[in-house]
Amino acid sequence: MTSGVGALWSHRNSLRILVRRDLAVKYQQSVLGYLWSLIEPLGMGAIYWFVFGVLYSRDTTRHLGEAADSYPLFLITGIFAWMWTSSALSEATNALTGQSRLITTMNVPRQVFPIGRVAGRFAEYAAGLPILVAVALVYAAQGTVTLGWSLLALPLAVTVQAVLLVGLALLLSAFNVLMRDVERFMRLIIRVLFYATPIIYPLSLVRDSDLPGWLKLGYELNPLVGIFQLHHAIWYPAEFPDARLLATTVGGSLLVLLAGWWSFRRLEPAVLKEL
């Protein structure tokens, strides 16, 4: 793995070129261009705010605690991070099947292609950070959000999320070449993960529910749970994951990265043969 990381680092310029190309191709025939990476999560945030912040506001605010008065910020913080997750997983799954000609002709580590999809979607997430900061400053001026040391949760959240997504991208992209059902299966999994992760609701809603203990434990084994708690903790320190959840999140993400890297290297000869 060390030699593989070294080879990947030596081809970082190729990775940068691939990311730029993917972004250019994605928005080349779009009038609004990169603005779509902001419009979509903001539109989703408006819909969920209307449903849970207006129609069901009584049930929602009962579990939000300090986030109740700034629920729109809570929403878009989770949705912006979720758009990075869902887009990266969707596009990384077919990163090899959709670029077979480049893969068989370019002399670069094949990991560059799925990792490039994760990096490209991170660029879109980063483009939305100024909006999150602007909204947070508005609520801070109103006294409903306090900005302080909790801002340090952002680099931690981004780092752990990147580790998890790279591992999943390597795993899914290789398996999808050999079993094309993986791409269809992931569409369902992504929808399930959206509601099985504290994105539009707080984790306390699950912990205080009447679900069996074993189900709550299984729920928190999902690394995305701790990752999105870190994202929410940027503005709401009370949402910072406890030691057990944080250790589960970091450890689970590292295990996924190792499993993804190992599987990709083992399957690479069969993948190239299939392509």
275 and 250 Cβ atoms separated by less than 8 Å:
no
> Would you say the C-alpha torsion 99, 101, 102, 105 has a positive or negative sign?
positive
Quickly tell me which residue has 């752990």 as its tokens.
160
Task: Return the pLDDT at 66.
Answer: 63
Question: How confident is the chain (275 residues) per 10-residue block, as mean pLDDT?
Answer: 64 76 68 67 80 66 68 90 91 80 74 88 87 88 83 93 94 86 86 91 85 89 94 90 94 94 87 75
Cα three-residue angle 66-70-75, rounded to 5 degrees: 105
Task: Return the pLDDT at 116.
Answer: 87
pTM for this prediction: 0.88
Environment class of residue 25 by beta-carbon count within 10 Å: exposed (0-12), middle (13-18) or buried (19+)? exposed
Nearest to 169 by CA among 93, 227, 116: 93
Where does the chain have alpha helices with state H? 2-10, 12-27, 36-48, 57-64, 71-93, 100-105, 112-142, 153-178, 181-195, 203-207, 213-220, 223-233, 243-274
Task: Return the pLDDT at 202.
Answer: 86
64 and 74 Cβ atoms separated by less than 8 Å:
yes
Dist CA 258 CA 236 (whole Å): 32
Task: Return the pLDDT at 153.
Answer: 92
Task: Return the pLDDT at 93.
Answer: 86
Task: Return the pLDDT at 275.
Answer: 65
